[in-house]
Structure 1
Amino acid sequence: MLKPRSTATRELVNLDGIWRFAVARDSACEPWTGPLDTRLEAPVPASYNDLFTDSAIRDHVGRVWYQRPVRVPRGWAGERVLLRVDAATHEGTVYVDDVLVARHVGGYTPFEADITEHVRPGGEFRLTIGVNNELTRVTMPPGSITVTQDGRRKQTYLHDFYNYAGLARSVWLYSKPAVHVDDITIVTGLDGATGTVDYSVETNAPAPVRVRALDAHGTEVAAAEGPNGTLRIDDVTPWRPGAAYLYDLVVDVLDGDGEVVDTVTEQFGVRTVEVRGSRFLINGEPFYFTGFGKHEDTPVRGKGHDDAYLVHDFQLMEWIGANSFRTSHYPYAEEVMEFADRHGIVVIDETAAVGLNLAVEAGLLGTPPRATFSDETFGDDTRAAHAQAIRELIARDKNHPSVVMWCIANEPSSNERGAREYFEPLVELTRTLDPTRPVTYAAVMFATHENDLIADLFDVLCVNRYYGWYIATGDLATAERYLEGDLRGWAGTFGKPIMVSEYGADTLPGLHSMWDAPWTEEYQLAYLEANHRAFDRIDALVGEHVWNFADFQTSNSIHRVGGNKKGVFTRERHPKAAAHALRRRWLPLGGRKPSPTGEYLKTE
């Protein structure tokens, strides 16, 4: 799905701002039929949970309503008029006046509706969007709803971050011509000093297509005609980690007289990604990931996208020497992906499939274990929702050069019976949709090289490991031995690249001790050092992502006091001592792998 942009043939109106807001108190009401009966207002984009002082709004389970008037520009006569919602967490229903025009399930990917027949240029309409925050066994992420003795509906879920909801990303009104581009797919390669650009253009009706590639100065460097083909760019400047270079693919749709009726520009970078043996290669060169699992999480806004935090977070990643991050545990806003494209930050792009592990439920609640994969728990209908999440992720992000790998799940119960039957079709689907990028998942600590049932299906093995925190807490000598043995087991069993996609220790800023006391800043430093010593002895290791970039909010739980504190920055982005230590380790690496002696390992 192409992101709407303003071009010579298309116009774009941003609908962000203050909207009327109401919590659905009666499922039988139809608030879209008139002005919302409410005194509340809410900003878009933002999660609504932390905006108000009423705990009933924060804890509400079900639908909320946003509403605002929208005027269609009068110059759009004869154009198609579309409404696009960048995200509605977790289900969105859209009404134009009294008419339902769209419904979408999935809280982190965009959807849109052609509303041409329901509006008129120069006229105004009432836009109402309902957002439902409910999680069930057939949503991504999954969850369950219970009813308390006093009749309140209560949401539970298995992921360790707060279930922020609402319109957390932008809403748009845009126009496009009657005959137009629907989609563009770009796949790049390198042939010596020449870049190859395979392109495919989908239009809504048969029409001549012209394609041009422009360099960063706007100079045409290649051109072709037809909806499918290959461009060759001589003396190409590749997109590299830390040294981004972007080209423009300009696509023109022509009428019978050769006049342009639609024009769309899609940016791309020329680069290759490959797994060879136990190495991860970008442009044929070994790459070592340094960085974080992150979250879209800030005070007051929740998961609401904020350009100021976007810029500041990337500045902090550059300062600390991070060359990459994982979109844990859902697709991030498209503005984040575009920023990574422009600044040469490598991205592991993840679906919202987190919580497919009922062993975690049993451990946290002390309840009898249930089978994770079954008709009653996570079965065919869950997998269908998971497959749709994969389709929408790849459709949105397939052209981003920063995206080098698809992560289709975080910490599933991959050691349980039924895991292979559940995941094998999803891996095949991912490779069918995009055969050019490696596929991975992040393995939970319960899954080892001895009992994991799906690792052989994937290209890169990402493992989340917390030796020294959840296991061997406070005993870092033992933790280091456990970790090294664990990683050597994965390397010896599967012969694939291994990445530690999570490791970290909760840390209260300002808490200190002379000894290895968990929760202190000294312990976080010692914990990271022990992990790094083990990492540097594993030749197959291709990366390290600390959990987490910054502290983040979680559900109310005795296991989390004020949220998850594993960040090396506080939630307000103040550095803990660990941030300075990581900077000393990562800045000299430059994407190369360290060795136990402090030298750089040979990577060929």
Structure 2
Amino acid sequence: MKRASYIIVLLLLSMPGFAQTFIQNISSRSVLSLNGRWNYIIDPYENGYYDYRREAFDQSKSGKGGYYDDKKQDDKSELIEYDFDHSPTLNVPGDWSSQVEKLELYEGTVWYRNKFTFEPKAGKRYFLYFGAVNYESHVYLNGKKLGMHKGGFTPFQFDVTSELKKGENSVVVKADNTRKKEEVPTINTDWWNYGGITRDVFIAETPESFISDYKIQLAKGSLTQIDGFVQLSAPGAGQTVKVSIPEAGIEKTVKTDASGRAQLNVSLPAGKIIFWSPETPKLYTVSVQAATDKITDRIGFRSVITRGKDILLNGKSVFLRGISIHDENPLIPGRARSEGDLKMLLSWAKELNCNFVRLAHYPHNEKMLKLADEMGLLVWAEVPVYWTIEWDNPDTYRNAESQLNTLITRDKNRASVIIWSVGNETPLSDSRYKFMSSLISHVRATDNTRLVGAALEVHRVGTEVVVDDSLGEKLDVTSFNEYGAWYWGGTPKELSKYHFNIKYDKPVIITEFGGDALAGFHGDEDTRWTEEYQEALYKAQLRMLSTVDGLRGMTPWILADFKSPRRPHPVYQNFFNRKGLYSDTGVKKKAFYVLKKFYDEKENQYKGSHVNTGK
């Protein structure tokens, strides 16, 4: 990028309405946490944002008049119809739906306010960071609008260097979780629409010129070469960047081009690298240093490619023993809030003998990916292009691509991530094909070191289950959802008559199958909602799926019961999707042991006979 173009981009990004360029590994900086109790005001009519003629206060000449002013009376005659100081509080991070009973089903605007004391340092820059706010957020600091962001699961930040005051500061967030057909996800989803500031908030400190982005990974298909880049915040050719991995004896100095970007190519010393895998999740301390900045990261090195119907991890064929997971702790209602919540979910997956998790159906907490790196779990990472999106709407596409780009930018150095998914259960049409094909092309242009997937749908012709989606030609794996013996196919004992017709000569991953069971409800295997029915379903599904040529993995639906407004049955569901192998109280259902036994057998099978040197 030429210097003039770079400056124009920076100017655009500094305007209200634009979140700042994403900073890689921002949590590793010196940070001031703003987590804690925030005052809130419920605003279903958006009185704090619009005047009575429905004109936005922050678009007026004065820019004043909204709740974001956080105003107090200057004299006793002044009319002010809100008061953050005397308003109740919510935990941040945390959704409002699970914290306040009257907000459980609320969809609309809630204003958050937090006061904090700060003392900016000369020669430093400061960024206000949000891990996630669902769904549309408008952010103000000391009464000035910093910008807005759309997307309930992607992080964003703003440069607040010039807005921070010495002493007391006030940050106000307008959070709106209203579902809209043109958004991503769209109106109809099968998970709870938790509103609010659901992930960490902090202020990060950087030097004036800093390391803004980097990618340090093995080159595609290689076990001998690291490829990547380092991007500095300031453009300018000839800036020196040093990358070192002391434990591996690697140190490399490179120079930036005019845009401040330095390309990185390093040959690995023979025998010095332990490759990351679920069995040996080795992470190396990687240091990146520029003239005025130095950061460290913990990075694992591994290769993932497909060859025929095999998925090769570090040159060896692997079977992905997986499970799907929602970003929800069933034991404490609401979104997962802490590292403890996330570690519990991944530990449950490890108890099942998983080496793979599908983080559905949206970007999960960044901490989840770092934990997966540490715990040795491969990851399918997904964006919420879910069910029926407005395929012909250019703004909807830009939104989807932006969320996908943020996901890749944030997690591209995580060894655990082996598949970027562009969506789930999207219906066939020409406009959908164009939309999702463009997302696939974007993934490949952004990061060619992972596989690309999508959870496709199947259709049935008699007893033949057909996988013939034209999008499959563009994917690296044939991945699809099927709900035999639950939504079709009769009872579990009737599944044996079905067989698959898969049009693509690629590795097969079954991204969803399963059925509901209310934990503790028992009966015979023909009785819906019983643990015995779910147990029989899993046994029948695993027999049926074992006949699929090229089966190389699965992520059944789902690890644990989770809340969904689409599940109202008062006896068996009570607004929970009950397909979990763990109940909402953390109890293992009978099907858990069926799948674990299958995974134990697969682990032993692949230890001995499915080895490929990759040469």
Q: Secondary structure at the match of 1:547?
A: coil
Q: How does 1:203-602 map to 2 (within 5 A)?
A: 203-205=232-234, 206=236, 208-214=239-245, 220-226=249-255, 227-234=262-269, 235-254=272-291, 261-299=292-330, 300-356=332-388, 373=391, 375=392, 379-413=393-427, 415-446=428-459, 449=466, 452-474=469-491, 476-482=492-498, 485-486=499-500, 489-490=501-502, 493-555=503-565, 557-558=567-568, 560-590=573-603
Count of aligned pairs: 544
Residue matched to 1:153? none
Deviation at 1:557, TM superposition (A): 4.4
Scaled by the length of structure 2, the TM-score of the pair is: 0.84
Alignment-mate amino acid for residue 265 of structure 2? T
Percent identity, please: 25
1:388-444 deviations in Å (ceiling 9; x for gaps): 22211111111111000111001000x334332222222111111112211111012
Residue matched to 1:123? 167
Residue matched to 1:171? 201
Deviation at 1:224, TM superposition (A): 2.6
Cα distance in 1 for partners of 2:388, 2:338 equals 30
Contact 1:419 1:453 in 2 (8 A): no
Residues 208 and 380 from structure 1, CA distance in 2 versus in 1: closer, same or farther, beyond 3 angstroms?
closer
Residues 170 and 301 from structure 1, CA distance in 2 versus in 1: closer, same or farther, beyond 3 angstroms?
farther
Cα distance in 2 for partners of 1:408, 1:329 equals 10
Alignment-mate amino acid for residue 435 of structure 2? Y
Cα distance in 2 for partners of 1:293, 1:78 equals 46
Deviation at 1:569, TM superposition (A): 0.2
Residues 253 and 513 from structure 1, CA distance in 2 versus in 1: closer, same or farther, beyond 3 angstroms?
same
Cα distance in 2 for partners of 1:97, 1:547 equals 45
Deviation at 1:262, TM superposition (A): 0.7
Residues 557 and 341 from structure 1, CA distance in 2 versus in 1: closer, same or farther, beyond 3 angstroms?
closer
Contact 1:224 1:231 in 2 (8 A): no
Cα distance in 1 for partners of 2:484, 2:36 equals 45
Contact 1:323 1:591 in 2 (8 A): no
1:225-262 deviations in Å (ceiling 9; x for gaps): 332221233221101123211112211111xxxxxx11
Q: Secondary structure at the match of 1:589?
A: helix
Picking from 183, 186, 199, the partner of 2:216 is: 186
Q: Secondary structure at the match of 1:418?
A: helix
Q: Secondary structure at the match of 2:598?
A: helix
Cα distance in 2 for partners of 1:246, 1:318 equals 19
Contact 1:195 1:236 in 2 (8 A): no
Residues 603 and 525 from structure 1, CA distance in 2 versus in 1: closer, same or farther, beyond 3 angstroms?
farther
1:50-70 deviations in Å (ceiling 9; x for gaps): 21122xx22322211111112
Cα distance in 2 for partners of 1:80, 1:50 equals 36
Q: How does 1:27-38 map to 2 (within 5 A)?
A: 27-29=46-48, 30-34=66-70, 36=84, 38=86
Picking from 20, 25, 34, the partner of 1:3 is: 25
Deviation at 1:593, TM superposition (A): 5.4
Cα distance in 2 for partners of 1:66, 1:388 equals 25
Cα distance in 2 for partners of 1:349, 1:591 equals 27
Deviation at 1:576, TM superposition (A): 1.0
Contact 1:286 1:592 in 2 (8 A): no
Contact 1:94 1:100 in 2 (8 A): yes
Coordinate RMSD, CA, aligned: 2.3
Deviation at 1:210, TM superposition (A): 3.0
Deviation at 1:549, TM superposition (A): 0.2
Q: Secondary structure at the match of 2:596?
A: helix
Deviation at 1:189, TM superposition (A): 4.1
Residues 420 and 26 from structure 1, CA distance in 2 versus in 1: closer, same or farther, beyond 3 angstroms?
closer
Residues 242 and 89 from structure 1, CA distance in 2 versus in 1: closer, same or farther, beyond 3 angstroms?
farther
Q: Does residue 40 of the first structure (1) align with residue 67 of the second (2)?
A: no
Deviation at 1:3, TM superposition (A): 2.4
Alignment-mate amino acid for residue 118 of structure 1? E
Residue matched to 1:107? 152
Runs of at least 5 residues in structure 2 that lack an aligned partner in the other structure: 1-21, 49-65, 71-82, 256-261
